[in-house]
């Protein structure tokens, strides 16, 4: 049964909203997947800051054009699913590829490519992007870079403080040695 015009407009609006919130997406070809596997993948993508949905190719093309995205026409053929990177496209790409590998789904599911910004991505490009650090990893690295100098300053101050104490103690010890020699 064909979908109504109203439903088509709703789907285009939903795709467009997802695209406006995304910093990239991967196009996934899948066939013969069990619902439980699809739900598990959906959960992994959600944990990585994305959203997974099976897309109507024609409607996705319309949404891409309306949102001003590149249209990967050659990728939008046959059964298509899309993993949108809402918060962190590299993390979403990593989650998808890891899931396919962990679940041994190479024959049933394949990342065909994607789009990030204005760039059309091949499957190899999506793989390369998945090797980039995720947003939380980048944040941790930046925090580490910011915290490291302050830790060094604290160490220097602690060492300087103990150095002053050592100098004072040596002076006191020397002074008390001189007092003892003068008394003898």
Total domains present in the chain: 2
- Residue 128's DSSP bridge partners are none
Q: Are residues 107 and 148 in the same domain?
A: no
What is the number of H-type helices and E-type strands within the chain?
Answer: 6, 5
Q: Are residues 99 and 141 in the same domain?
A: no
Q: Are residues 23 and 86 in the same domain?
A: yes
Nearest alpha carbon to residue 29 among 106, 128, 119, 117: 106
Res. 43: pLDDT tops 80: yes
Q: What's the predicted TM-score (pTM) here? A: 0.72
Range of the structural domain that residue 110 is part of? 5-132
Q: Are residues 17 and 80 in the same domain?
A: yes
Q: What are phi and psi of 42, to 5 degrees?
A: -55, -45
Rounded to whole angstroms, how far apart are CA atoms 47 and 43?
A: 6
**What would the mean pLDDT of 20-45 be, rounded to a whole number?**
92
Alpha carbon 90 to chain centroid, angstroms? 5
Q: Are residues 28 and 110 in the same domain?
A: yes
CATH number reported for the structural domain that contains residue 85 in this entry: 3.30.70.1730
Q: Are residues 18 and 69 in the same domain?
A: yes
> b/e per residue, 77-90, with b = 16+ CB within 10 A?
eeebbbbbbbbbbb
Q: Are residues 141 and 123 in the same domain?
A: no
pLDDT tens-place string over residues 82-141: 999 998 899 999 999 999 999 888 888 999 999 998 889 999 999 999 888 777 777 888
Q: Are residues 32 and 87 in the same domain?
A: yes
């Amino acid at each position: 049964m064909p979908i109504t015009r109203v439903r088509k407009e709703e789907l285009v609006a939903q795709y467009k909203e997802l695209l406006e919130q995304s910093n990239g997406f991967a196009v996934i070809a899948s066939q013969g997947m069990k619902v439980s596997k699809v739900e598990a993948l959906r959960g992994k993508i959600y944990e990585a800051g994305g959203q997974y949905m099976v897309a109507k190719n024609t409607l996705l093309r319309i949404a891409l054009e309306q949102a001003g995205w590149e249209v990967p026409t050659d990728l939008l053929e046959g059964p298509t699913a899309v993993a949108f990177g809402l918060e962190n496209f590299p993390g979403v790409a990593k989650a998808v590829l890891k899931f396919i590998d962990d679940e041994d789904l190479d024959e049933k599911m394949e990342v065909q490519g994607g789009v990030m910004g204005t760039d059309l991505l091949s499957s190899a490009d999506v793989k390369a992007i998945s090797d980039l650090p995720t947003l939380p990893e980048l944040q941790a690295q930046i925090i580490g870079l910011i915290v490291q100098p302050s830790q060094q300053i604290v160490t220097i101050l602690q060492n300087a403080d103990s150095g002053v104490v050592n100098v004072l103690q040596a002076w006191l010890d020397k002074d008390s040695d001189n007092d003892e020699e003068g008394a003898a």
